[in-house]
Amino acid sequence: MHKESFYQFILYTLLQEGKSNIPFKIEVLLLGKQLASKHYFIKLYKGCDIPSFFHIKKLFEKEYSYYSLDIKEANIQKDENGLMTGNLDFQIEKK
């Protein structure tokens, strides 16, 4: 997955949840897009159920079809209750 798509997905999620994106943008300035996006993905999706995540992902891909967000259920790490841990089993490309 391209890091710009992941970055845009985090911004989209913050917008959908009505949260401010200013702390995220400050973190991007300090850590870079890739690391900040990974950190915020964990903050936003730790404990989230899989169908809710894929619903948000589907809305994002429908609205921003020019961004490819290639996350499959096999890439998502789950806890013992089947909820997301926030960690993903793939690398983000630096393109």
Percentage above 70 pLDDT, the chain: 91
pTM value?
A: 0.83
**Strand 84-88 vs strand 76-78: parallel, antiparallel, or unpaired?**
antiparallel
**80 by DSSP, 3-state: which?**
coil
Confidence of residue 74 (pLDDT cuts 50, 70, 90): confident
Which pLDDT tens digit goes with each residue over 20-43? 999 999 999 999 998 999 899 999
Q: Are 51 and 25 in contact (CB under 8 A)?
A: no
Residue located via tokens 């890439």:
75
* DSSP structure string for 28-64: HHHH-HHHHHHHHHHHHHTT--HHHHHHHHHHHHHH-
Structural domain boundaries in the chain: 3-88
